[in-house]
Amino acid sequence: MALETSVLAPGTRIRVTQQMPQTHTVWSTALEGTVVRWRQARTGSWYAHGRDDKLWLDRLELRRPDGEMVTLNLDQYSLIETLD
């Protein structure tokens, strides 16, 4: 997934819609918040062709309007829209 990193700059208000395809339907959920941090983070999973032989994920940290902090793992089914 190619991310437009300027959309993920700290302080940007965004909506993230994530989808999980099922056999006959798609589950989806949306979250709105302000970007705190975006990074590629190493998991504990082993992956032979990854950097340091690890699996790396795009992680997005959001602060929701009520102050709750949320960490999302982004994938090819994640849609990010700016709200400002």
Residue 44, amino acid: G
pLDDT of residue 21: 86
5 CB-near residues (< 8 Å, 6+ apart): 38
Distance CA 55, CA 43 (A): 6
Report residue 31 as tokens.
Answer: 């979250």
User: Could you read off the pLDDT tens digit of each residue along the chain, which spans 84 residues?
Assistant: 455 667 789 999 999 999 988 899 989 999 999 999 999 887 776 665 656 666 778 999 999 999 999 999 998 889 999 997
H or E element that contains 82: strand 78-82
pLDDT of residue 48: 58
pLDDT of residue 3: 57
